[in-house]
Amino acid sequence: MEPKFIPVFSGGTGRSGTTLVGKILGKHPRVHAGKPYEIKFLTGRDGLLDLLGNNLNSEQSQKNNAKKFSTFFSSSSRPNATLRQVTGFHTKITQDWWQRQGKRGGTAGLVQGFDFEDLERKLATLESKYFTHPVCSTRKFFYDFIASNKYIARAEFVVDTTPTNIERSGQISQFLTNAKFIHMQRDGRDTISSVLQEPWGPSDPMKAIQWWKSKVLNAKTATSTLPSDSILDVSLEDLVGKKKEIMYAKLLGFLDLEDAQEMRNYLENEVNSENAHLGRWKEDPLLDQRFQKKFQEARKELANLGVVLSQSID
């Protein structure tokens, strides 16, 4: 199928500026971002990538599935595990990912920009074709559903800011061959300080170091397989600091976008170190000397593994 747009996936460790870069790019007339910023259904647990499983890696697997599953729910010979995956995806996208309470109140989720009846129709099409054409049917579902966003207009680029995008970028690149990736990176101490305040993250600083290290390593592994022209590394410190103009030019160049006044205005007026809470770790009582020692050890371990952290992180 001919893609309707170029998907741009911003990702990182979480609390690393993934949404911020989406907001910046979303001010460009050729780019859509938001409503919602995070779709979640691609990389989330039981999402599209999980539904695909090994089908991405093996054409023979697709052929075997076509032989085994010529129709959908009517055959009793299908393995229950596979049926659970399909029905599980249906449940997650129509419930958990469809609507939830926003972090600052209000409603979050796909409900912000999509029509539920249209989603159900597209799911029915996916479910009727999945077992004979697992990759093609899921790929078509992704492009068709995203293109149905009420606010997308004729955007050439669509940005998603789900943090796990980078950890699964290798799979996404196989699935959506025209995808672009923006790897957001932030001082790990600021990341940890922020994550400790989140209900979904580790609450212990020492465990948070291991969480951060694991996320960084996963990102390194995933992005190492990507074509160099499909990924841009962005330091949050550079994006909001003295190198803001340089990073702005890199973002434009990466997507081959012309300068846009609304995008530039947003960058100049809203994007700064104060709003990004740079250096918040210095005022965090949880990040004591013991933490600092363990964190520096973790950084050295990453360096020994060939992981180069942002030059702007001291």
Tell whether 294 is covered by a domain.
no
Q: Which CATH number goes with the domain that contains 151?
A: 3.40.50
**How confident is the model at residue 70, as a pLDDT?**
38
Tell whether 143 is covered by a domain.
yes
Name the phi and psi angles at 189, rounded to 5: -70, -40
Name, in order, each residue with C-beta under 8 angstroms of 249's C-beta and a sequence gap of 6 or more. none
**How confident is the model at residue 72, as a pLDDT?**
36
Tell whether 177 is covered by a domain.
yes
Q: Give per-10-residue mean pLDDT for the chain (314 aa).
A: 89 96 98 97 96 75 44 38 86 97 89 98 96 94 97 96 97 96 97 95 96 96 96 97 96 98 97 96 97 97 89 48
Tell whether 108 is covered by a domain.
yes
Which run of H or of E encompasses 189? helix 188-195
For residues 7 and 128, the answer to whether their CB atoms sit within 8 Å is no
Range of the domain at 128: 6-187+230-276
Tell whether 87 is covered by a domain.
yes
Cis peptide bond N-terminal to 36, omega within 30: yes
Structure tokens at 257: 């976008």
Tell whether 137 is covered by a domain.
yes
Between CA 306 and CA 300 the distance in angstroms is 10
Tell whether 210 is covered by a domain.
no
Name the phi and psi angles at 2, rounded to 5: -85, 115
For the chain, how many structural domains are there in total? 1
Tell whether 14 is covered by a domain.
yes
| Nearest Cα residue to 181 out of 252, 97, 260, 255 | 255
